[in-house]
Each structure stands twice: as structure tokens, then as C-alpha cells.
Amino acid sequence: MNYKYFPHTDADLQAMFQKVGIKSLDDLYAEVPEQIRFRGEYQLPEEMSEIEVRQLFDKLGAKNKQLTCFAGAGVYDHYTPSAIPQLLSRSEFLTSYTPYQAEISQGTLHYIFEYQSMMAELTGMDISNASMYDGTTATAEAVMMAVAAGKKQNKVLVSETIDPKTLAVVNTYAHFHGIEIEMIPAKNGVTDLSTLNSQLSPDVAGVLVQQPNFYGIVEDYEGFADACHNQKALFIMNSVAADLAVLMTPGEWGADIAVGDGQSLGIPMQWGGPYVGYMCCTEKLIRKMPGRIVGMTKDNRDQRAFVLTLQAREQHIRRQKATSNICSNQSLMALWATVYMSLMGKQGLKEAAELSYAGAHYLCDELLKTGKFCLVYNQPFFNEFVVRYSGDVDALQKRLTENGIFGGIKLGADKLMFAVTEKRTKEEVDNLVKIAAL
Amino acid sequence: MNNRLYGNLIFELSQEGRSGYSLPKNQFGSYSVPAQLRRKEDAALPECDEMTVVRHYTNLSANNFGVDNGFYPLGSCTMKYNPKINEEVAALPQFAGLHPLQPAETVQGAEEVCQQLCKSLCELTGLYAFTLKPFAGAHGELTGLMVIKKYHESRGDEARKKVIVPDSAHGTNPASAAVCGLEIIEVKSDARGLVDLVDLERLVELEGDSIAAMMMTNPNTLGLFEKQIPEIEKLVHAAGGLMYYDGANLNPMLGAARPGDMGFDVMHINLHKTFSTPHGGGGPGAGPVGVRKGLEPFFPEVSPYHGNFAVAMRALAYIRSLGRENIKLVGPLATLNANYIKESLKDVYELPIDGLCKHEFVFDGLKDKSTGVTTMDVAKRLLDYGYHAPTIYFPLLFHESLMIEPTENESKETIDGFIGVMRKIAEEAKVNPDEVKSAPHLTPIGRVDDVLAAKHPVVTYRQLLAEV
């Protein structure tokens, strides 16, 4: 054997063989029919030393190009405080599993309780679950939850201003789950209340909107919740978590379910994951909510303790009648978000949001000054906006990439969407504008 | 791990006016979010200095038990060692800093990680193509069932809505099927703990054209290899159904048999089990889905980018580290460890089905039932001795299930220590049952009141404050 992850010595093997009553490792598979036994060699490279593994990934890494990020579309290049990765690398967090044994999992259970508390605060909702995979799947789960919570209603209305990637995942779940999705057409980049009213009917279980929407616009959702509730439909709002430190919250807009991605809470972009999905809702809906939930209780020594609760909703008890097939949470990434919110705190989240807002508005103004860009929507935006470019968008993006800049997301033939976070300096913004003005 | 409860919440350490961050000054001029867009009240987040935050989470971690603390024989979860080099490569800034929508020519290394991993997974499973999009095992199951449903739909075979699962299946199987708009029908287990072929024949005959798939783990949740898999596969395929392999129990098959060769068409892999990525207190994991040739056009859009990419990086680092010569020892050594424990304890714990197990096995509680000591009590007493408990009360086939999975990384000394303690607990159950029934005694907290938590849910700090 003699491999670093296998502790078995020859003497160990012999003693264990004897106890089990076998002569070789091969005997352990005596019952496996020979026709399906794998006898060959895997066509894989040979063992690599740690030095070689490092070299392999360094080489692969060198094939990537680090760009100064001016793109968003749901994933943002936010600042990560140094303490977070160091705390998260603690083995007791990293190498544990779901806190089934509360007596030796209070670390995990405490931080999940903190996470739930912070997400409820951020979204202005009553309660939160213990987290979900990401924003898109959390949104799909919210759509299924709305249908399950309603009675015989099987349709969900979705605003056209939602992120198309979220919509794609929602559509996948809806197709297989037998939910009808109907789009609410957008007007000038925002969802229109009178259009929604004309589409609401008794068979609508939920209405899904995004804030800020896909184009970065902060929409006016006044009256939406009432319209939904008049038709017994749930109002679901998807938001970028960090933006809610400043913006009107889903709770203030009267949402029944708030969902979205928590990547903006200091989690690295890491090419798409892992991130963390959040789901919050009103107290009334707690027993309809999918996913794990941690609650407070007492132990038999009369100490305050935390524990997984309301498990009667979940798959390992309810099996096919469960509210969802989700059987864990995105714990470590929830911890990431929790430590982020603890460090940044009440003021820091607001300050980062204000910096992002200021940077984006400065960039927008400077681009307009070049005379080559114009704003596509005359709407308030947060840290992301869409402009029309009078030149060749592909050529511009290529030029920016060559200069080490990820210059926005292309939307249609002549439009670009830029995003700015607190990480971008004035120098970087000015450099982008200079290249874009050429 | 520290056996004294730390117990604070970060909110309880907060003082108005403290801060734990530093940000650059605004260089962009007087832009500010207008009042009409703003929330009315600030979120009541904590206000703490940096060291207070660092101490808080460090102290919380000390009330937690992970694989790095000690033996974690949690059945069905494959709590193997999480190599440190994997963490190092996953954090490399050349990957961690990539936006998922960056131009293709700037992410060639990341693309190659995915390609190399998929190719390796194909080789190890005997399947043709993998998607890395699913975020977790349950997400993989759902994705795989979607592939199957789409396949049948593409052939105009819309009536195939039923999925056969053994009565010993993981609870996620039926839940995933329900989310996918499919129905579950259960096939019985026989006295040997294997799929009852007679019952399966009956079901296949009865349901025929409505069968979409059969979903199985192999070895099953009792840790037993379904040796009739060639017959099962023929029956299901002849009826027009596909075979789904739940990769939860793939670990013992490394080096022994491949799902593709067993006749499975679709499977998911839990990278956080078989391929050593950390469980992270419940996630993030990853659940790549593999298919036989011809099914890859049916991969659905279940996530926007490349799944949990940083988890995939760890899995590739693991596969490359072991290489072909060591990876084939994973299954046999895990299986040896499990059988060794089983044989060493079956005189004091009830082994309902004797014979070779694979990576795990199930006891039906203590052999001597007269003491009143339950599986729950044994599990809690193990915590006092510094072990994580096995999986308890699953599978549902037995009343006192105690499911033990040691993994290939555990040494004979560790396992002997565990066996010694398990025997000691069996002895305690006879001479001092109350000591076992009231366990744990040495952990930060004692047994908790689950009923109180569920009857009157307090799930946020705001609700907690309203209590006092």
C-alpha cells in the first residue's frame, strides 16, 4: 500500500484478513458477478506527488487571464475581508457534516442561527432557512413553494426583467414539476403594474420579480403585493443580497418570499460557484418553506442550545410528500456570508453599497461624456446599468480584454451592461473610459 | 474540540459604534443612493471589531466535531479525509478570481479542469459524458431523473412516469422523483436484504409501459452488493425503462466495478463523498451527472454556470494525487475496514444480515435488548468517548438501525479503539444502563429538547429577543 492517505501496513492487512476470513482484498468482492467485475487498469495518469499536483494546477491557472471586472449580471467582484477564508479553513467547520448530533455541532448550529437572523434582517422578512445551493435554484424552489402553498393554483407569473439565467433554471423546474410559467412583459425596462393586474387570475399561485432587476434598475413595486394578495397569489422577490443593506427591502415591498444569491456577501466569483442561495419568508409560511431550519431550544442541563428543527417538512421523513428534495444546505458558504456580515456590520455593508453605487454612476456619467454611449433606460439604477454603444461592441470588448479589463456583458447587438463594486478604483474606471473612448 | 459550551451569539457581542472593516474613501464624487430608494431602517446587523469576530468564530468552531477531530463513521455519508492540497489549489487566485461570464479565451485553464474531471469520472464509472452543473447529490438525482424524463418524452413515450425504488432507498430518491413530476413505486427487499426479484418481476409486468426508470444504489443502503444486478438491468431495460445509479455508495466500487458496466444508464456522483471534497457542515458539495452515450443531449439547465466549480477543482486534485494505481485501492480498503468492524462487533450488536458487506453495514441495535438501551443511547454515549455517532434509524427496514461506514483512511488502531468503545458501551448497557441512557455527559451540551424547538419555533435573533 504505502500511500499517504492509506494507513494500512502489511501486518494490519494480514490481521484484518484473518478476522474477516479472507485471503486477499479481491475476496471482499466474491459476490460480484465476474461479467461486471472491473479487472482492467483505469486509463488515468499515474500517482502525482504534491509538488506535481501544485505544478499541474499552476500550469492550468496560467492559462486563465485575470481581468479587472466591470461585469455583473448576478455575480459581482466584491471585497473579501482577509479574516473570512482563514476562519473558514478551520477544520472543525470545514470537515464536519450536517449537524445531526447537536451535542457536538453547536458551532455549526450557532452560525446557521446567526445566518438566518442576519438574512431576515437584510431582507426585512420574518424568517430565513439555513441556506440553499444558489440564487437560481432558490428561486425555482420559491416558485414550487408558492404552488404548493396555494390551493389548486398552478400558474406563476414571472417578470421579463428577471435575469435570463434565473429564468432558465425556473423554467426547467417548472417544466418537470408541471407548473405553468407566464411572462409579464416589461415596459421601458421595468415591470408594469397594470399589465400584471390584467394577467392576475385565480389560477395564479405566485408572482416573481427581481430587485434590482437584471438591467440593474431599481424598480418601483408599489402596489404589487396588494395586487397579488387580492388574488391569493404569493409575491416573490429575487434580490442581490448585499444591495439590500441600502435599498427598500422585499419585506418593505410586502413580499411573501424573498430569495436570491448571497455571492455579493464577500464570496469570490470562482467561475460560478460555490455561492449560497438564500430564502426568507413570512412567519405564516414557515412550514411550507423548503430546506433546513435551525431553531433555539434547551438541553437537559437547562442551557440554551440550537438544533435542526421542523424536520417534519423534509425529505427523509416525508419522502415523496416532502416540500422539496433538498436535504442539506450550503453551510460553509452561509458561514462565509455570516462572517462577512459580522465584520462589515451595520455600517460596512451600507458603505460598500454606497461605494458601488457611486462608482457605477461615475462610470456611467463618464461613458456618456465620450459621446459614444447613451443610457438605454431612463430609470434609477444601483451599481449596474445598460448603455448603447455607437461603435462595434465586439471590437470594443476585445480591446478591453486585451487591456486586462472584463468590459461588461453584451446584451443584444449594440448594448453593454457594466457593473461596479467597491473594489474598483477611480484609476481603473478612468482607464476603462479612456479605452472605450478610442 | 472543546467540551465546554461557548454559547454566545455574535449579536450578543455587538456594541454600537464598533466596526470590523476598512474600505477605501469615495473617490467618485457626491453620488448617493436617493432617499426614495432606501430602506427605512438599517438592518440590525452586529457591530464588532475584527478580533472579537475572529475570536467568536474560533470559539464556535471549538464546539464542533469534524473528520479532522476524530473518527466519523456516519453511514452513507463517506466521511473520508479531506486532503489539504485540495484546499490549496481550490483557493488559487488564478481560478478564484474568474467571473463565470468572462470571455472563453481568458478561462482556458478553468475549462480544462472541467474537461479533465469529466473525462476521469467517465473512466471511473464506465459512462460516456458528465455534466458538472448539479450542486449536490440530491440536485444530481433530480437532474438525472430529468434526463430520463426528457429521453422518454423525446420518443413520444409520455406515459412513462413511474420510478421503481427499493424499500431501502434514501429518502431523497422519492422526493427527487416527486419534484421531477414522477411517481415512486417500491420494490420489496428479500430476506437477504437485496431487491426481491420476484416482486420486481411482478411490478415490471404490472406497470410495463409506465416505467420510466429504476433507481438504485449499489451497494444498497444496507451496504450489500446487489449481485442480481445483471438480471435486474435486463428486466427493467426489456420493459423500456432506464437504470439510474444513485452514486451515494460509489466509494466501495472504486477498483471493483463500474456502474456503466453494471448496465446503468444515468448516475450522479457525490464529489463530497467518493472524491474527498469537504462536507463543510452540510455543503457545498457537488453532484455531477453521468450518462450513457446518446443521453447527453438531454442534460437540463439546472444551474447557470459550471456547478460548484471550486469543489470540482478539489475532486480533480484528489484523482490526480491518487493516480490510477491508488484509486483502485480505495474501494477494497474501505470495504476491508467495514467488514473488520462488523466481524469484531457482531457478537454484541445485532447483525440482521450476515455475510460480506461493502463500505458500510447496519446493526439492528444491541444484541441484548433486555437492557432498554436503544440505538439513540449508544450513539449519544459514543460522543462521550470522542467519536462521531454512526447514522441512526436509517435504513427504515429495522427498528434500531445503526449504520457504520469507516472509509479507507482509518487506521487499524483507530478502528480497534472504536471497536473497544462499542464493546464497552454494550457492557455498560448491562451493568449501568442509566449512564448510557442519559448520555452524553462530556459534550458541550446534553440532549436537546427537539419538541420545544418545533412546537414554538425561534429561528432568528429578533424572535429570540422577543422571548425574554
Instruction: Report the distance separating Cα B240 and Cα B234, nearest Å.
Output: 10
What torsion, rounded to 10 degrees, do the Cα atoms B288, B291, B295, B299 define?
0
Q: What are the chain B neighbours of A25 within 8 Å (beta carbons)?
A: 329, 332-333, 335-336
DSSP letter at B347?
A: T
pLDDT tens digits, A255-268: 999 999 999 999 99
Confidence band, pLDDT 50/70/90 cuts, at residue A379: very high
> What is the chain B residue with the closest CA to A342?
B46
Residues B305 and B376 in one domain: no
- Nearest CB neighbour to B21, from listed A12, A21, A348: A348
Q: In this predicted model, what pLDDT tens digit does every residue of B14-57 receive, in sequence order?
A: 999 999 999 999 999 999 999 999 999 999 999 999 999 999 99
Q: What was the pLDDT predicted at B169? A: 83
Alpha helices (H) along B67-107: 84-90, 93-96
B97 burial (CB, 10 Å; 0-12 / 13-18 / 19+) is: middle
Q: Same structural domain for residues B158 and B110?
A: yes
All residues of chain B having their beta carbon less than 8 Å from the beta carbon of residue A385 are: none
| Domain end position, chosen among B323, B342, B377 | B323
Q: Is residue B10 part of a domain?
A: no
pLDDT of residue A316: 63
- Distance of residue B144 Cα from the nearest chain A Cα, in angstroms: 12
Given this model, what pLDDT does residue A315 score? 61
* Rounded (10°) CA dihedral B55, B56, B59, B61: -110
**Identity of the residue in B82, B108, B337 whose CB atom sits nearest the CB atom of A63:** B108
Cell of A16: 484484518
Looking at B247-298, list the stretches that DSSP marks H as alpha helix, in order from N- to C-terminal side: 259-262, 271-274
Cβ distance of A36 and B261 shorter than 8 Å: yes
The stretch A19-48 carries a mean pLDDT of 97
Widest pairwise Cα distance in chain A: 83
Both B259 and B376 in one domain: the answer is: no
CATH number at residue B279: 3.40.640.10
Question: Could you tell me if A357 lies within 8 Å of chain B, comparing CB atoms?
Answer: yes
Q: Do residue B156 and residue B255 come from a single domain?
A: yes
Residues A367, A401: Cα–Cα separation, whole Å: 17
- At B319, give phi and psi (nearest 5°): -65, -40
What CA–CA distance (Å, rounded) separates A425 from B117? 37
CB contact under 8 A, A247 and B72: no
CB contact under 8 A, B257 and A103: no
Are B107 and A271 within 8 A, CB to CB? yes
State whether ipTM is beyond 0.90.
Answer: yes
Min Cα–Cα distance to chain B from A215, Å: 16
Cα distance between residue A133 and residue A275, in whole Å: 7
User: In sequence order, which residues have a C-beta less than 8 Å from that of residue A191 and are 6 or more positions away?
Assistant: A159, A160, A161, A184, A209, A213, A219, A221, A224
Q: Do residue B336 and residue B307 come from a single domain? A: no
Angle (CA) A347-A348-A353 rounded to 5° is 100
Beta carbons of B81 and A94 less than 8 angstroms apart: no
CATH architecture entry for A68-78+346-436: Alpha-Beta Complex (3.90)
B462 domain residue, yes or no: no
Cell of A290: 423548503
User: Distance, in angstroms, between A202 CA and closest chain B CA?
Assistant: 23
**What pLDDT, on a 0 to 100 scale, did the predictor assign at position A88?**
97
Which pLDDT score is estimated for A324?
Answer: 83
Cβ contact, residue pair B461, A113, below 8 Å: yes
Based on the fold, state whether residues B125 and B253 are members of the same structural domain: yes
C-alpha dihedral, A212 to A215 to A216 to A219, nearest 10°: -40
The whole-number pLDDT of residue A318 equals 63
B85 grid coordinates: 492540497
Low-confidence ranges of chain B (pLDDT < 50): none
B225 interaction partners in chain A (CB closer than 8 Å): 29, 31-32
Please list the residues that pair with A258 across neighbouring strands.
Answer: A237, A280
Probe site for chain A from B64, B68, B120, B403 (most A CB atoms < 10 A): B64
Nearest-CB residue to B138 (from A144, A326, A339): A326
Which residue of A76, A97, A237 is the best one to mutate when testing the B interface, meaning the one whose CB has the most B CBs within 10 A?
Answer: A97
- Let me know: does B219 contact B192? Beta carbons within 8 Å: no
Q: Among B274, B301, B323, where does a domain finish?
A: B323
Residues of chain A with CATH 3.40.640.10: 83-339
Residues B37 and A270: their CA atoms lie apart, in Å, by 31
Mean pLDDT of chain A: 96
Same domain, B169 and B300: yes
d(CA B249, CA B328): 15
- Condensed to tens digits (0 to 9), the pLDDT of residues B369-422 reads 999 999 999 999 999 999 999 999 999 889 999 999 999 999 999 999 999 999
How open is the CA angle A22-A16-B65, to the nearest 5 degrees?
135
pLDDT digits (tens, 9 = 90+) for A117-172: 999 999 999 999 999 999 999 999 999 999 999 877 899 999 999 999 999 999 99
CA-to-CA distance for B252 and A29, rounded, in angstroms? 10
Residues B317 and B405 in one domain: no
Q: Which residue of B has its CA nearest to A140?
A: B302
Chain B contact present for A53, CB below 8 A: yes
Residues in CB range of A43: below 8 A, 6 or more apart = B123, B324
User: Quick check: A183 contacting B, CB < 8 Å?
Assistant: no
Q: Which pLDDT score is estimated for B87?
A: 98
Residue A370 has pLDDT above 90, yes or no: yes
- Domain co-membership, B314 together with B382: no
Decide if pLDDT at A351 tops 70: yes
Residue of chain B whose Cα is closest to the Cα of A105: B64
Confidence of residue A314 (pLDDT cuts 50, 70, 90): low
Report domain A83-339's class.
alpha beta
* pLDDT score of A259: 98
Do B315 and B355 reside in the same domain of the chain?
A: no
**CB pair distance less than 8 Å for A293 and B300:** no
- Domain count for chain B, please give it: 2
C-alpha cell at B150: 426528457
| Amino acid code (one letter) for B137 | G
Q: Is there a contact between A230 and A340 (Cβ–Cβ < 8 Å)?
A: no
Q: In this structure, are B307 and B346 located in the same domain?
A: no
- Nearest chain B residue to A168 by CA: give it: B301
Domain holding B136, by residue range, is 84-323
Q: Which amino acid is at B459?
A: V
Residue A419, Cα to own-chain centre: how many angstroms? Answer: 18
Q: Which of residues 269-298 of A touch B (CB under 8 A)?
A: 269-274, 286, 292-298
The amino acid that residue A319 corresponds to is: R
Cβ <8 Å between A169 and B303: yes
B362 & B213 share domain: no
Pairwise CA distance, residues B57 & B347, whole Å:
44
Range(s) of chain A covered by CATH 3.90.1150.10: 68-78+346-436
Q: Does the pLDDT of residue A313 top 90, yes or no?
A: no
Checking if the pLDDT of A1 tops 80, the result is no
Calculate the average pLDDT of chain B. Answer: 97
Across the interface, do A41 and B324 touch by the CB < 8 Å criterion? yes
Helices (H) and strands (E) in chain B, counts: 16, 10
Q: Which residues of B touch A346 (CB under 8 A)?
A: 42-47
Whether the upstream peptide bond of residue A81 has omega within 30° of 0, thus cis, is no
Residue B114 lies in a domain: yes
Q: Considering only CB atoms, which chain B residues are within 8 Å of A297?
A: 448-450, 452-453
Inter-chain CB proximity A296 and B307 less than 8 Å: no
Chain B residues within 8 A of A114 when measuring between CB atoms: 9-11, 461
